[in-house]
Amino acid sequence: MAKILSLGLFGHNKSGKTILGEALLFKAKAVERFGDINSGTTTLDYDEEAIKRQMSVSVSLGFFEWNGARIYLVDSPGYMDFVGEQLGALEAADVALINVAADGGIEVGTERIWELIHQRKIPAVVFVNKLDVPEINLNQLWEEMEKCFGKRLVFVTYPVFKDKQLSGVSRLLDGETGPSDYRQKALDSLAELDDGLMEKYLETGQLSPEDISILLKKGILEGKVMPVLCGSALNSIGVEELLDFISRYLPGSEELPPVAGQAPGGEPLVRERSSEQPLSGVIFKTISDPFVGRLSYLKVRSGKLVANNALFNSSRNVKERLGNLLRLQGKKQETVTEALPGEVVAVAKLMESRTFDTFSDPGAAIIYPVPAIPEGAVSYSITPKVKGTEDKLGNAIGRITEEDPTIKVFRDPETGETILSGMGDVHLDVTINKFKNRYGVEVEKGIPKIAYKETITVAAQGEGKHKKQTGGRGQYGHCFVKVEPLPRGAGYEFVDEIVGGAIPRNFIPSVEKGVREGLQRGVLARYPIVDIRVRLYDGSYHVVDSSDIAFQLAGILAVQKAVSEARPILLEPIVNVEVRVPQEFVGDIIGSINAKRGRVLDMSGTGSTQVIKAQVPLAEMSGYTSEIRSITSGKGSYVMAFSHYEVVPSNLAEKIIEERRKEREAKAS
């Protein structure tokens, strides 16, 4: 096999991304029929929710072979609520194929996924889809793309129109007919990558096919060139040319730079992506199915993964029994005996392993970094619709949170409610449907709750002492902690600074457990405390009466006292909002955003449509769908995604804290 690579499919929701995957599979004869989204017959969107909503809601896999290369497709949802799935797809992707709809241009989902791809330095190629839609302004689209992706873009194929209808594409770099200025720009960009070839190019004005091939591969690997191909996936125009380009120019997994990780002790490590290297890889998705059990998706980054063997999970320092390796074509499975770098396979019934865990050779262990999981911004209270199904719901919650790291389920100790938190309304609707369709337990959702957080603004100290003497053995735990604010979004850090045995080593995990528990209940309104560093620096113990539970309770007391002295404040989630409206409604929309304490960040036009980008507190977005329909007579639309947390203005914070207090009192009475 000349080349193996995994190709991540990314793009804005409804941009034609899944149909592009379908077209690639069909053209490569990996599937027997060209599936249709409307009838729910696509290979990659086979999930019940995906079929019903006619959009991807989870990562799915496919594979094909073309000109001796084996390509694995990793199809990722475009809707930004499913960022957890996108993060998993990015862990699996060697190269990103970004689908851009010609009639939609650069949309917010495209910009967001490009930020993630660019951060991870994943080589990328663009396919401009839906060029069979009438009245496409390609020059304007190119300007939008350069604004998003930078000046690294080069046309590889160019659309050919006949009687204003897309009839095919021209391979510009192969010398076929097309706009000379775009071909010239592409050659100029490539020649700049090599001083020697640049000199040759300036003398002759040409680059040989061999030169173009060398420079294109070099530019893609270094991220200095981003090839652009064109066509219509639905009508299979430009698809064969894309397949040829993938097999000819995209780097195979073993050609990519080494992967950075660390040894179990924390020392930095890099691993070459070669089959001759020790085994390593990552679990990038977990599916929990009530009938087949847990199914884990694995990406091999180095070495060989062999079926029916032991698997060492270096993230958790445990060994698991590995059964058959499954290669997936949508929901269809076939067994394989081994997987090499660049391949993605599934395995069943890993008991200890979870999403984003690293597996490796136990004799050459490596741990790859886990992507930052964004905080959920929308929450519902949930209760079983039928009494007596609480245990069933608990089991379903456990399975679903294993499957989706962006879903959090917790019990509010003040109200007694079970809270389901996620990335948005669609994300939570899909999750609630899973309870019913997969696990047979229906839930009722309460009024959406805003996932407020608390944090601190200054450093402070606190002492926690739990001392209780009964008739027999007593309880004694005693600790001192310092708390410090961390940058917004940094999360939580625990630092052990105990010296001289002030607290025995075996009780320090107990203190941290208590600290974590204490941070779940803030001192202002009992919301979780975030962006905080806790330093355990002193304490004392009793040789007989000290215990794990005593030090846990001491940890809770210490951290809550310290937080009380650290000028705590309330944080609220801010969402990125992109509104698309006709020109005549722009003023009204900006007025509505300002009224919601929002900030307009940018405005751009695509024809008669204006795109307004803003950031707005999530608490102000309730009912915005109806509001925007009313303002625009049904002609406007918007999408939103969680961005970050910001401080709540003091006057509003007082109201939120007071409402929270009343909720607790009502519950107590």
- The answer to whether residues 108 and 19 belong to one domain is yes
CA dihedral (193, 194, 197, 201) positive or negative:
positive
- The answer to whether residues 389 and 480 belong to one domain is no
Assigned domain for 450 exists:
no
Assigned domain for 603 exists:
yes
CATH number at residue 331: 2.40.30.10
What backbone phi and psi angles, to 5 degrees, belong to 539? 170, -170
- The answer to whether residues 277 and 241 belong to one domain is no
Assigned domain for 561 exists:
yes
- The answer to whether residues 128 and 248 belong to one domain is yes
- The answer to whether residues 582 and 561 belong to one domain is no
Q: What percent of the chain clears pLDDT 70, i.e. is strictly above it?
A: 98
Look at the chain and report how many structural domains it folds into.
5
- The answer to whether residues 302 and 350 belong to one domain is yes
Assigned domain for 197 exists:
no
Per residue in 326-349, pLDDT (tens digit) is 999 999 999 999 999 999 999 999
Assigned domain for 108 exists:
yes
What backbone phi and psi angles, to 5 degrees, belong to 187? -65, -40
Q: Which of 89-103, 108-122, 161-175, 409-423 has the lowest mean pLDDT?
A: 409-423
Q: What angle do CA 530, 536, 537 make, to 5 degrees?
A: 145
CATH number at residue 116: 3.40.50.300
- The answer to whether residues 419 and 531 belong to one domain is no
User: For position 1, what pLDDT does the model report?
Assistant: 54
Query: CB–CB of 356/405 below 8 Å?
Result: yes
- The answer to whether residues 498 and 547 belong to one domain is yes
Assigned domain for 544 exists:
yes
Lookup result for tokens 């002030």 = 502
108: CB partners within 8 A, 6+ apart: 12, 80, 576, 578, 613, 639, 641
Lookup result for tokens 């207090």 = 661
- The answer to whether residues 18 and 66 belong to one domain is yes
Q: What pTM was computed for the model?
A: 0.76
CATH number at residue 412: 3.30.70.870
Per residue in 34-67, pLDDT (tens digit) is 988 888 899 998 888 888 888 888 999 999 999 9
Residue 492 domain boundaries: 457-567
Assigned domain for 194 exists:
no
User: Tokens at residue 486, please?
Assistant: 């961390």
- The answer to whether residues 360 and 398 belong to one domain is no
Average pLDDT, stretch 17-28? 96
At residue 115, the 3 state secondary structure works out as helix
* Dihedral class, residue 644 (left if φ above 0, else alpha if ψ from -120 to 50, else beta): beta
Average pLDDT, stretch 318-330? 95
Report the C-alpha dihedral over residues 576, 579, 585, 590, rounded to 10 degrees. 0
Half-sphere exposure (Cβ direction) of 316: Cα atoms closer than 13 Å: 17
Assigned domain for 663 exists:
no
At residue 365, the 3 state secondary structure works out as coil
* 606 — pLDDT class (breaks 50, 70, 90): low
CATH number at residue 583: 3.30.70.240
- The answer to whether residues 336 and 471 belong to one domain is no
Question: Is 206 or 316 the better-scoring residue by pLDDT?
Answer: 316
Cβ–Cβ contacts within 10 Å for residue 447, how many?
A: 8
